[in-house]
């Protein structure tokens, strides 16, 4: 039975998707390099095309986008830099986007619990 999605997913253009995925790649995936370049490329194309289904690859794409947005919202904060109001607004919007993507992931997380694959394990590892 196919359920209708109740979570609002923000529209992000291809350039922003690339920046978000690169942010994930340079922060989270740098420390725990579990997601391959092929899966990152698949995430880019899946998010650009809007082909979000009820499968583990969609869950991984949501997770990559959530963690990438979260990485963008916290970048440079440990150095104690004073940010402009415009930069603070940008960071707040990225945090909101991260929350939306993570909420979408949590509504689909049951999918990865029912699947035995490398993608499902990556989702559970990165969620933890």
pLDDT of residue 83: 82
The pLDDT tens digits for 79-116 are: 767 888 898 899 999 999 999 999 989 998 999 999 99
119 domain-assigned: yes
In terms of residue numbers, what domain contains 35? 14-75+82-127
Domain count, the chain: 1
47 domain-assigned: yes
Which band of pLDDT confidence, cut at 50, 70 and 90, is reported for residue 1?
A: very low
90 domain-assigned: yes
4 domain-assigned: no
- H or E stretch at 108: helix 85-113
8 domain-assigned: no
The pLDDT tens digits for 3-42 are: 555 566 778 899 999 999 999 999 888 877 889 999 999 9
120 domain-assigned: yes
């Amino acid at each position: 039975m196919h359920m209708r999605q109740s979570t609002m997913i923000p529209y992000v253009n291809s350039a922003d998707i690339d920046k978000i995925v690169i942010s994930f790649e340079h922060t989270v995936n740098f420390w725990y390099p579990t997601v391959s370049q092929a899966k990152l490329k698949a995430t880019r194309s899946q998010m650009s095309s809007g082909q979000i289904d009820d499968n583990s690859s969609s869950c991984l794409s949501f997770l990559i986008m959530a963690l990438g947005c979260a990485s963008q919202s916290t970048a440079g904060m440990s150095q104690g830099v004073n940010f402009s109001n415009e930069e603070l607004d940008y960071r707040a919007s990225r945090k909101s986007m991260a929350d939306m993507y993570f909420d979408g992931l949590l509504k689909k997380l049951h999918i990865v619990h029912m699947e035995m694959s490398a993608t499902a394990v990556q989702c559970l590892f990165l969620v933890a």
